[in-house]
Chain A
Amino acid sequence: MTSTLRTVRVLLTNWYWALLFPVTILLVSFVVNLVIFAAIGRAAMQNSWTGGLASIYLVQLAVSWAGVRQHFSFTVGLNATRRAFYSGLTLVVLAQSVLFGLFVYLGAWIERATDGWGVGMKFFDPASFLDHHALSAMLIYIVPMALVSCFGVFVGAVGKRWGTFGFFGFSLASIVVFGGIAVLISLLHGWPAVGSWFVDQSALSLLAGWALVPTVLLGLGGSAVLRRAIP
Chain B
Amino acid sequence: MSTVVEVDGVVRRFGRMTALDEVSFSLRANTIYGLLGRNGAGKSTLMQIMNGHLLATSGRVAVLGESPWERAAVRARMCLVRENQLYPDQFRVHHALRAASFLFPGWDEAYAQSLVDDFQLPRSRQVKKLSRGMLTAVGIVIGLASRAPLTFFDEPYVGLDAVARQLFYDRLLADYAEHPRTIVLSTHLIDEVANLVEHVLLLDRGRLIVDDDADHLRGAVTAITGPAAAVDRIAASGTELHRATVGTLTRATLRGLDDAARGTAAELGVTLEPLSLQQAIVSLTANGMEGSR
Q: Which A residues are within 8 Å of any B CB, using their own CB?
A: 3, 6, 9-10, 13-14, 17, 66, 70-71, 73-84, 228, 230-231
Contact = CB atoms under 8 A, between A and B. Distances in A.
Contacts of A81: 70-72, 75
**Which of A6, A9, A71 has the most B CB atoms < 10 Å from its CB?**
A6
**Which of A81, A83, A230 has the most B CB atoms < 10 Å from its CB?**
A81
A10 B103 contact: yes
A74 B80 contact: no
B88 A71 contact: yes
B142 A78 contact: yes
B103 A14 contact: no
Interface string B276-292: 00000000000000000
Contacts of B90: 14, 17, 70
A77 B85 contact: yes
Contacts of A76: 53
Interface of B: 48, 51-55, 70-72, 75-76, 78-80, 82, 85-92, 95-96, 98-100, 102-104, 142
A43 to B, nearest CB: 44
A3 B72 contact: yes
A10 B104 CA distance: 11
A83 to B, nearest CB: 6
Contacts of B100: 78
Contacts of A78: 79-80, 100, 103-104, 142
16 contacts: A6-B103, A9-B102, A13-B99, A13-B102, A14-B95, A70-B90, A74-B86, A77-B53, A78-B104, A79-B52, A79-B78, A79-B79, A81-B70, A81-B72, A83-B72, A230-B48
A74 B53 contact: no
**Which of B96, B98, B99 has the most A CB atoms < 10 Å from its CB?**
B99
A13 B51 contact: no
Contacts of A71: 88
Contact of A231 (B53, B76, B79, B102): B53
Nearest to A18: B90
A74 B99 contact: yes
A83 B55 CA distance: 16
A10 B70 contact: no
A225 to B, nearest CB: 15
A78 B99 CA distance: 10
Contact of A77 (B86, B92, B98): B86
A71 B48 CA distance: 18
B150 to A, nearest CB: 10
A80 B103 contact: yes
A3 B82 CA distance: 22
B119 to A, nearest CB: 19
**Which of A77, A83, A228 has the most B CB atoms < 10 Å from its CB?**
A77
**Which of A74, A80, A82 has the most B CB atoms < 10 Å from its CB?**
A74
B71 A79 contact: no
A3 B54 CA distance: 20
Contact of A70 (B48, B55, B89): B89
A6 B99 CA distance: 9
Nearest to A70: B88
A73 B86 contact: yes
A84 B259 CA distance: 57
A1 B99 CA distance: 18
A14 B51 contact: no
Contacts of B82: 77
Given A14-B88, A77-B80, 17 more contacts: A9-B99, A10-B99, A10-B102, A14-B91, A70-B89, A74-B85, A74-B86, A74-B88, A74-B99, A75-B103, A76-B53, A77-B86, A79-B78, A79-B103, A80-B72, A230-B54, A231-B53
What are the 4 A-B residue pairs with the smallest beta carbon separation, nearest first? A70-B88, A73-B86, A79-B75, A3-B72
Contacts of A3: 72, 76
Contacts of A82: 70
B25 to A, nearest CB: 21
